[in-house]
């Protein structure tokens, strides 16, 4: 939001359109819970004519605090941990399905 404030305050800022300023922010929370809602709130705010800094602040209210608090290094670790947890859950589901199939086959 600070970057947007500075850009809008610069002379000739009208050349840098609102959409150009907002575009990098639209993907900030891709893949996160409420990430699509964040993008939708940003989009709707822009359509209402709300300046980018305020639209960004408004959209950030839909994100969970722990997501907003992560710095880039922590985000990489968090993302890696989430991928690992999903992989382990998928492998467990596959093992459970295999066991269930064996039980069903044994009944036949």
pLDDT, tens only, 3-17: 666 666 665 554 457
Q: What's residue 1's pLDDT? A: 60
| Residues of the chain above pLDDT 90, percent | 31
Average confidence (pLDDT) over 65-70: 83
CA atoms 30, 34, 36, 37: torsion sign? negative
Residue 71 pLDDT grade (very low, low, confident, very high; cuts 50, 70, 90): confident
N-to-C CA span, the chain: 64
- Contact present, 38 and 46 (Cβ < 8 Å): no
Q: How far is CA 25 from CA 47, 87, 105, 106, in A?
A: 16, 29, 53, 55
């Amino acid at each position: 939001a600070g970057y947007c404030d500075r850009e809008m305050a610069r002379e000739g800022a009208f050349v840098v359109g609102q959409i150009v300023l907002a575009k990098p922010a639209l993907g900030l929370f891709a893949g996160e819970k409420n990430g699509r809602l964040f993008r939708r709130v940003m989009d709707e705010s822009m359509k209402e004519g709300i300046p980018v800094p305020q639209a960004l602040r408004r959209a950030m209210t839909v994100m969970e605090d722990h997501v907003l608090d992560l710095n880039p290094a922590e985000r990489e670790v968090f993302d890696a941990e989430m991928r690992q947890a999903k992989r382990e859950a998928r492998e467990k589901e596959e093992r459970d399905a295999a066991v269930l199939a064996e039980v069903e086959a044994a009944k036949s």
